[in-house]
Amino acid sequence: MKYYSLQGTSPEVDFREAAIRGQAPDKGLYFPKTIPAVSSKLIDGIDEYSKEEIAFQVIRPFVGGCIPDPDLQNIVAETVSFEFPLVRVQEDIYSLELFHGPTLAFKDVGARFMSRCLGYFTTSQNKKITVLVATSGDTGGAVANGFYGVDGVEVIILYPKGKVSSVQELQLTTLGKNIFALEVQGSFDDCQQLVKKAFVDSELNKALFLTSANSINVARWLPQQFYYFFAYQQWKDKKHPPVISVPSGNFGNICAGLLAHHAGLPVKHFIAACNANDIVPGFLSNGQYRPKKAVATLSNAMDVGDPSNFVRVLELFHHEFDSLKASLSSYSISDAATKEAIRYVYTKYHYLLDPHGAVGYLSLEKYFEKQGREPAIFLETAHPVKFYDVVEPIIGEKVEIPESVQSLMGKKMQKVSMEVDYEALKEFLMDSSRR
């Protein structure tokens, strides 16, 4: 398997090079040269396969022999070593719970797979790899947990001050060792711009081996296909594939779902569920893609004003607008509606949504208003406890705290505060005293 840059001026590379680089030298995102078809045997007999077997078959052609099969099987087994239950919420709506991993968020899958791939690749590297990542919430904790203690890798996480939940902040600031957290006095978009500047800084890249752990990295993006296959495995009516609503911020998750569909996974339609950051709903409405400054919302992991992975979505559809609209709808949900959905679903169906899942649920309802009701899935991308300060006042009850979160309480946060200042970031990155 070869990967090409969506900017079109960098040489093609294999999976190993794409994963280590993160971005192409021309600053484009890497994209697979071909979309390998999933075997009909896997689709037709999916009930007979284990999660590990499904994931291995899905990812193996993308890795293209860069990791021997026995090692790749071990990496995949560690990546999906928790449950991905499909839970019935009401008669025709199901929740795919993606919060049963170590940091209680869907990003555990991509972070665990990428960290183990880089760990494998660094055994032949003489230079330490520096993973530089911006987070709007869940990415930071998942990456920190996935890379914690990995030899030959240090992780620098930038997050916007006051715009991640208290649990999210604990998850990305309390590990220490090879994990470093930078609290930026700005938005997620500011953090992402700082990271992008670092990747184009020739002086910095001569001194350090930089790569990204955001979903722009193929090793983070591609394994997100797994849980769409796991959802289909649990789907009872295989003759009528589901509509799937995906809470969407940087669009890596839904792009992985669309990729799986292109490869042969049966899905009737996708919905990109967005909060007040409505760039893609606007684009699908009028054909105009207009990035905006991100707006802070309750569903903070989706507070993205210029989603990096949307260019991959466009590439999947060969930039054909009508073809894209036939497969993808998108809706914008307000904070007020998000709160009401959490209250309503908990009161009527005794199911507790987090703010991101609530956006996914409401986007299904909007789709039903136009298309009529049909069996559907929304992705519950994070455990509600990660947003207990939002959820508890809505339902008037305490959210049960899982053991993994209880262990963080009272731990000292280790973080460095900084302004939106690239020179300050560069100075921190060049400082060898922490290594």
The whole-number pLDDT of residue 289 equals: 94
pLDDT, one tens digit per residue, over 102-112 is 889 999 999 99
Tell me if residue 107 is catalytic: yes
pTM over 0.95: no
* pLDDT grade for 203, boundaries at 50, 70 and 90: very high
* Cα-based angle 392, 394, 399 (whole degrees, multiple of 5): 25
Q: Which of 51, 107, 163, 366 is catalytic?
A: 107
* pLDDT grade for 425, boundaries at 50, 70 and 90: very high
Among residues 131, 123, 110, which one has the least CA distance to residue 67? 123
Report, in this order, helix, strand and coil percent for the chain, each rounded to 5.
Answer: 50, 15, 35
Among residues 287, 268, 269, which one has the least CA distance to residue 279? 287
pLDDT, one tens digit per residue, over 388-413 is 889 999 999 999 888 878 888 888 99
Residue 433 above 60 pLDDT?
no
Distance CA 413, CA 419 (A): 19
Q: What is the average per-residue pLDDT within 209-233?
A: 92
Residues 83-106+221-395, CATH architecture: 3-Layer(aba) Sandwich (3.40)
* pLDDT grade for 434, boundaries at 50, 70 and 90: low
Distance CA 366, CA 359 (A): 11
Q: What is the average per-residue pLDDT within 11-22?
A: 94
Q: Average the pLDDT over each of 39-43, 116-120, 148-152, 322-326 and give the range with the smallest value.
A: 148-152
> What's the number of CA atoms in the CB half-sphere (13 Å) around residue 415?
23
